[in-house]
Structure 1
Amino acid sequence: MAGIPTLPDIQGLTSELAEAARYRNNPAGYMIERLKAQLKIFQRKISDDAEVGIMVAGNAGTFHLRQISVSNPDMLIFDGIDQDGRTMQLFQHHSQLSVMLVEVPKIEDQPYRIGFTT
């Protein structure tokens, strides 16, 4: 019969709906996935003598980025080190995300690269 969805069609639709609900219920999780993709691209562009730094819009400070994590449903957490070696942590609501990735001189023998396991 034409027009009646098959079981694979229904399963695919169910999967799409579940994914849409996951993004709607955890927007910070969705945002971190997008940030990871952009970070990977950015890291490919910088030299071996540099690493990724982050600058928050409206703030003159820059720090060496070490990790990005999420506190669902709405918060992104940026961990890093400033120029003086102090540990830094930035909390940013997903709806107000405005960060700039910048190339900064490495602070150790090997440049730090952000890696993602997921």
Structure 2
Amino acid sequence: MQAGDIGDALSQLERGLYNKNNPAGYMLERVRRLIAAFESKLGEDAEIGMTVSAGSTIRLRSIGASDPDMLIFTGLDDHGAKACLLQHHSQLSLLLVAVPKIEDKPFRIGFV
């Protein structure tokens, strides 16, 4: 085994321990990739939203994590008011929807 191999193995071990101890951060990475893939298929007349309780929609503006266990989704509700959804990583269930843009240019989350 060479020094580079040991360094790679240690990096993978550290990453695995981080993911185990911070499941929200790990879930955030996965959700970001899935949202980016969904968003890449939207036309210029739509932006990304997510359906929350009772059929209301949040126009998604950002997502984040509060490790070790909470995901934070921020955006605008159906009336343009600021909205924030706090979700435990173990209860995550997202319904992503394409919603009509509300400005000249559709909002894009911007991560890949």
Q: Is structure 2 residue 3 aligned with structure 1 residue 25? A: no
Distance 2:89 2:7 in 1: 31
Contact 2:28 2:71 in 1 (8 A): yes
1:47-105 deviation per Cα after TM superposition (whole angstroms, max 9, x unaligned): 1111000113x542111000001111110000010121111100000011001110001
Distance 1:68 1:113 in 2: 12
Query: Counterpart of 2:93?
Result: 98
Query: Counterpart of 1:112?
Result: 107
- Runs of 4 or more, structure 1, over 6 Å off, are none
When structure 1 is superposed on structure 2, of 9-18 and 97-106 the one drifting more is 9-18
Q: Is structure 2 residue 43 aligned with structure 1 residue 72? A: no
Q: Is structure 2 residue 46 aligned with structure 1 residue 50? A: yes
1:12-60 deviation per Cα after TM superposition (whole angstroms, max 9, x unaligned): 211111010010111111111111111111111111111000113x542
Q: What 5-or-longer segments of structure 1 have no aligned partner?
A: none
Pick from 2, 7, 19 the counterpart of residue 6 of structure 1.
2
Q: What 5-or-longer segments of structure 2 have no aligned partner?
A: none
Counterpart amino acid of 1:25? N
> What count of residue pairs does the alignment treat as equivalent?
112
Distance 1:91 1:10 in 2: 39
Distance 1:59 1:18 in 2: 41
Query: Counterpart of 2:76?
Result: 81
Q: Normalization by structure 2: what TM-score?
A: 0.92
Counterpart amino acid of 1:67? S
Distance 2:77 2:93 in 1: 19
What RMSD, in angstroms, separates the aligned Cα atoms of the two structures? 1.4
Distance 1:34 1:62 in 2: 22
Q: Percent identity?
A: 49
